[in-house]
């Protein structure tokens, strides 16, 4: 069980902000990484970890955020055990935003702004990449249809997100020594930047849409 999982740790300094840790841990065979976004997902992560340890003798790594986070619509223990699920859903979305941990609430706020401008957005919380991979193919295709543009939002390196998304909002450089909220804002984890990146993806741009490299 770990905490302080992103650049939101703030004043600890740029080299103490674990931008590379989550992608690195996801590469370890037989390790499940859980990054919960609220209390319900936390409960689901603990349930998964205890049962996996008891039944399979295999480890689970839980990464928690330092800052307070809102409770999300549609979050539950049951949905967490799917690895990913729709927090905000709609029929025939124009865009799907996939987020983890503290960035799910940000994705929800960005989706609301895009909806108000006429873009239909589904927001998917993905507390565990590994658990989602194990779900039935029909569920995975229904949640993340290949025909719909998808954008990941995570305060970590963008490495690995090409498996699920077409465009990425992340951080591929060291952070900064500043209050956590200032760091998040400075490196693009704010509603206006996520909305802008979503618009650019819909216009055909792909890859790292925002990765903090121009923030200094």
> In DSSP terms, which residues pair with 190 in a beta bridge?
none
For residues 125-150, give the mean pLDDT. Answer: 98
Distances in Å between the Cα of 146 and the Cα atoms of 89, 97, 120, 143, 183 are 16, 13, 16, 10, 33
**Residues 192, 202, 73: CA angle, nearest 5 degrees:** 60
Cβ atoms of 195 and 97 closer than 8 Å: no
Give this prediction's pTM: 0.93
Judged against a pLDDT cut of 60, whether residue 215 lies above it is answered with: no
Closest among 59, 106, 148, 94 to 140, alpha carbons compared: 148
- Residue 136 pLDDT > 90, yes or no? yes
Span 77-108, pLDDT tens digits: 999 999 999 999 999 999 999 999 999 999 99
Beta-strand pair 85-88/121-125: antiparallel
| Span 5-47, pLDDT tens digits | 677 765 666 666 678 889 999 999 999 999 999 999 999 999 9
pLDDT for the residue 10: 58
Q: Residues 159-167: what's their mean pLDDT? A: 97
Tokens 């849409």 sit on residue: 209
Per-residue pLDDT for 128 more than 70?
Answer: yes
Torsion sign, CA atoms 182, 87, 205, 14: positive
pLDDT at residue 52 tops 80: yes
């Amino acid at each position: 069980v770990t905490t302080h999982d992103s650049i939101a740790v703030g004043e600890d300094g740029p080299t103490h902000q674990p931008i590379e840790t989550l992608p690195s841990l996801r590469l370890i065979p037989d390790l499940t990484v859980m990054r919960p976004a609220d209390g319900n997902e936390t409960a689901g992560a603990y349930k998964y970890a205890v049962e996996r340890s008891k039944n399979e003798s295999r480890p689970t790594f839980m990464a928690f955020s330092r800052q307070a986070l809102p409770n999300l619509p549609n979050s539950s223990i049951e949905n967490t055990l799917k690895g990913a699920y729709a927090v905000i859903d709609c029929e025939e979305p124009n865009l799907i935003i996939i987020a983890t941990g503290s960035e799910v609430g940000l994705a929800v706020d960005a989706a609301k702004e895009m909806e108000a401008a006429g873009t239909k957005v589904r927001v998917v919380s993905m507390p565990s990449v590994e658990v989602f991979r194990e779900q039935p193919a029909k569920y995975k295709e229904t949640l993340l249809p290949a025909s719909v543009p998808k954008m990941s939002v995570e305060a970590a390196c963008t490495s690995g997100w090409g498996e699920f998304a077409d465009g990425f909002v992340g951080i591929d450089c060291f952070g900064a020594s500043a209050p956590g909220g200032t760091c998040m804002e400075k490196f693009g984890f704010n509603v206006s930047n996520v909305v802008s990146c979503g618009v650019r993806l819909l216009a055909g741009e792909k890859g790292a849409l925002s990765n903090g490299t121009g923030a200094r």
